[in-house]
Amino acid sequence: MTTENKICFRHGMRDGSPIALGYFAVAFTLGIAARNAGLSAIQALIASALNNASAGEYAGFALIAAGSSYLEMAVMTLVVNARYLLMSCALSQKLKTATPLRHRMLIAYDVTDEIFGICVAQPGYLNPWYAYGAIAVAIPGWALGTFFGVIMGNVLPTRVVSALSVGLYGMFLAIIIPPARKNRVIAGVVAVGFAASYLVNRLPLFNGLSTGIKTIVLTASLALLAAVLFPADMVNSGEKSSSDNGDSEEVT
């Protein structure tokens, strides 16, 4: 490793340390979900080490708990984590053309929202060792958080475990509420998603479908419908309109 690569690696570890702490806290509640799905602490540790994605991993644990098939789990993980395909395409533009395939594949192993953010913000071309430094602290934070979440879920009283189980839903609400408040289109899609999910799980017509199939069909259908009815330019204009309204209210 050259001196430049060592420096970039240390900088990546420095910038990735706050991410790792946040991952540990979020993954702790994910460990509760893994425990409820019947996974051991070691199994949850391996799952988080191989799939560093909150929504995708939670969907996987939910399907395990529901007894879904491997195919349903694979398709659901692909659908939920589809945004990382776009992030990877964008991040590839930050790499020099001569960057070997092995470096590209290793970086792609852990393209998360946060690591993508700090990597794409680097000035000029991205040195792969910067990403490795961030990944070196982020993955242990995520995996160990899940590991200890399972352990504490087996030790703590049932009431406490039930309370901690709500924490992951709080994280998802924290993800969707800010953009929904800024954009009425996103808020509408989220509301329709909640309503559709409730109806699909209540109506006898869909009783023959497994939980995995229901989630996959709903996710893909709503995403496609929103993309057709509300293209990116309409979403952006809606966000700008909401921002303008907010500014005018503050002035008043």
Residue 35, C-beta contacts closer than 8 angstroms, at least 6 positions apart: 44, 149, 150, 153, 154, 161
Reply yes or no on whether the pLDDT at 113 is more than 60: yes
Over residues 212-228, the mean pLDDT reads 75
Cα–Cα distance, 214 to 72 (Å, whole number): 10
pLDDT at 168: 56
Reply yes or no on whether the pLDDT at 204 is more than 70: yes
By mean pLDDT, which of 117-121, 166-170, 182-186 is the weakest? Answer: 166-170
The answer to whether the Cα torsion of 159, 163, 166, 167 is positive or negative is: negative
Over residues 75-103, the mean pLDDT reads 84
Answer whether 146's CB lies under 8 Å from 48's CB.
Answer: yes
- And the tokens for 149? 């979440």
Over residues 32-40, the mean pLDDT reads 87
Over residues 125-144, the mean pLDDT reads 92
Over residues 156-166, the mean pLDDT reads 63
Mean confidence (pLDDT) of the chain: 80
By mean pLDDT, which of 20-29, 61-70, 112-121, 201-210 is the weakest? Answer: 201-210
In which band, very low, low, confident or very high, does the pLDDT at 41 lie, cut at 50, 70 and 90? very high
Answer whether 81's CB lies under 8 Å from 53's CB.
Answer: yes
* Between residues 164 and 198, the one the model is more confident about: 198
pLDDT at 14: 92
Reply yes or no on whether the pLDDT at 124 is more than 80: yes
* Stated pTM of the model: 0.66
pLDDT at 140: 92
Over residues 174-188, the mean pLDDT reads 77
* Between residues 195 and 178, the one the model is more confident about: 195
Q: Look at residues 168, 219, 211 and name the one whose alpha carbon lies nearest to residue 192.
A: 219
Reply yes or no on whether the pLDDT at 170 is more than 70: no
pLDDT at 175: 60
Helix 184-202 with 211-229: angle, nearest 10 deg: 150
Residue 245, C-beta contacts closer than 8 angstroms, at least 6 positions apart: none
